Structure 1
């Protein structure tokens, strides 16, 4: 499935308001279909959730073929725009990142997250440039959400984090980024200053003590992502239920569900 230009246009538009774009990140075709059925206007993947679902650790260890296969399975079952988290691009070579972007655009993706991590900003700029060129060669205005880990990894002293974030946002914008993703930022004043200091749509990630959606929108944020939080919560709950079942053999706890087998099976059936 090739990415559709109209889906890319819609995904860009969703970052312009008037509502906050809230994305409950999925990690496989089933969770993507579920999120769409609940009214999600787009599907974004969580790199951690995708890695864990395939038996790999998060952190650029997932084989690219597994990533592409996951994307293909997601775009097969949903009709809303799909964005995927490609971590650091699974390579330090910007040319290889460009090749990956070509593959995932061909698989139907219209947006990506790509992160700087602990690497120099220059490297992410080069990756963004290659990603932009690769998508344009396929006729897609890819939404490139540049993630900076200034807050998440404490890459600058607390009093310098807004300044460093905005410096990187300018560089990533000039390289071709469409949005700036600042996971770990939770303080209201920091969010206000970052949103006011860049013309890129600001994406935040669910964290304890993060202001609610209405406040984030008022502060200038445009997108809120669950990140790996839903995957973590589900795996934690699954571990609790499975441990109890393995230890006791009692069926009651695992046979009480909000959705029945029939409802879930119908949801996953061809439309």
Structure 2
């Protein structure tokens, strides 16, 4: 069953016909999204943290994150991927061990950031490639390591340009060579830049929706193979809860 889930998840990443992931935060939200017709399940780190009273940025204890991942994986028959932020360590070997612990919960993949969680900026290309290579060696060939670059997340969208895209392409190539399965570029919403990135990428590209972003059809036409929704489903639901509570308590 496990090998089948790995294969099924990887096969869902099709350029131009992307896998759509409506990110969840616990077993209950996973089951609701399954009922809606999901093909796979994905957590969002911010959603999991906020749902349990923590801030994003690895403030959620790792053991809690692992237990939550296991409970979600056990509750559904679909492939599950977990947003594991920076693998709870800047050290390549320790991060690899942590990702191996995550893989042991029964999930088929994870998001793995190149930003320095709790610090400043991004890891250099060489450092992040070393971290990916260590993780790949620890989990074997099938685990889907979706490496996220925060290049475009760290600056306003009006500053996104060709030079920044060139760096993203260089990162994507190095990450693919190191063993990454996918390349996640949150907040890159310029369709021309996104199309060029997809054309240049050796691994599937992941887009994240956000308020005011291009439509899924427009994004798919650039060659994106995966569309995720990040923290926005949880945020929208909590807003609805707040409004309903306000009406009931008025």
TM-based fold match above 0.5: yes
Matches within 5 A, 1:108-257: 108-117=106-115, 118-121=121-124, 122-136=126-140, 141-154=142-155, 158-159=160-161, 160-246=163-249, 248=250
Is there any run of 5+ residues in structure 1 with no aligned partner, and where? 249-271
Query: Which residue of structure 2 aligns with residue 269 of structure 1?
Result: none
Instruction: Determine which structure has more spread, i.e. the larger CA radius of gyration.
Output: 1
Residue-by-residue CA offset, 1:155-207 (whole Å, 9 max, x unaligned): 99532221111011011111110111000011111111111111211100012
Looking at structure 2, the residues matched to 53 and 207 of structure 1 have their Cα atoms a distance apart, in angstroms, of 19
Q: How many residues align?
A: 242
1:123 Cα deviation after fit = 3.1
Moved over 4 A (4+): none
Is 1:63 aligned to residue 61 of structure 2? yes
Q: Distance in 2 between matches of 1:123 and 1:18?
A: 31
| Whole-angstrom distance in 2 between the partners of 1:217 and 1:56 | 34
* 8 Å CA contact 2:16, 2:222 repeated in 1: no
- SS of the residue corresponding to residue 146 of structure 1 reads strand
**Counterpart secondary structure, 2:206:** strand
Deviations 1:61-106 (A, max 9, x none): 1111100110111011100101000011111112221121121111
- What residue is the counterpart of 1:258 in the other structure? none
Give SS of 1:219's match: coil
TM-score, scaled relative to structure 1: 0.85
CA RMSD in angstroms comes to: 1.8
Is contact 1:162-1:194 (8 Å) kept?
A: yes
Could you tell me the TM-score, scaled by structure 2's length? 0.91
Match of residue 93 from structure 1: 91
Question: Is the contact made by 2:17 and 2:224 (CA closer than 8 Å) also made in structure 1?
Answer: no
Q: Greater RCO between the two (CA within 8 Å, min separation 6)? A: 2
Distance 1:41 1:67 in 2: 22
